[in-house]
Amino acid sequence: MERKYHRLELSLIISVAILLVLFLVAYQTRPYHNQDFINDLQTHGANVSLLGEGNAWRIFYINGTYYNLSGESVQIFDYPTQSQTNYFINQIDSEGYKVGKGQVYWKAPPHFFNKKNMIILYVGNSTNTLSLLESVYGKQFAGTEYTLSKN
């Protein structure tokens, strides 16, 4: 009888472990969406508000969404899949001035960040904005180099 309970306990432990692994895999592969973008930045103390949609250049084949990020405009491109995101990431040169075969003339230095299925584009030179984006998304994957002052 005792041996039967040990098998039941072991089966229960294995079942819970499998469910936990499945949950973690599902969470890690879950797409990153606009609300995740807002939540992550607000968690880091930023004021984030929606400005609208658009993509004047159509360089990423989908409309981006513009947000006011503590006074600076940031555009995000939310792709349905990670593979589509990776395709467009690979189209951007390291300086951020060429996308595919086309040259882009930004009004200020471009900075590209990425999380899962999203490309985040900041065109500007505010060290506060760059510091915030870097703290949430890590180093830019393309764009003009910058140096953050160390306080």
d(CA 116, CA 62): 16
| Full DSSP string of 28-81 | HHSPP-HHHHHHHHHHTT--EEEEEEE-TT-TTSS-EEEEEETTEEEEEEE-SS
Q: Which run of H or E residues covers position 92?
A: none
pLDDT tens sequence across 25-39: 444 456 888 999 999
Residue 63's nearest CA partner among 72, 71, 51 is 51
Residues 6 or more apart whose CB falls under 8 angstroms from that of 100 comprise: 59, 91
d(CA 122, CA 48): 14
pTM > 0.85: no
Neighbours of 26 (CB within 10 A): 9
Tell me what pLDDT residue 53 has: 85
Percentage of the residues of the chain whose pLDDT score is greater than 90? 56
Report whether pLDDT(40) > 90.
yes
pLDDT tens sequence across 50-102: 998 876 566 777 888 999 999 999 999 999 889 999 999 999 999 999 988 88
Strand 118-123 relative to strand 110-115, pairing: antiparallel
Residues paired with residue 92 on neighbouring β-strands, in sequence order? 99
Report whether pLDDT(6) > 70.
no
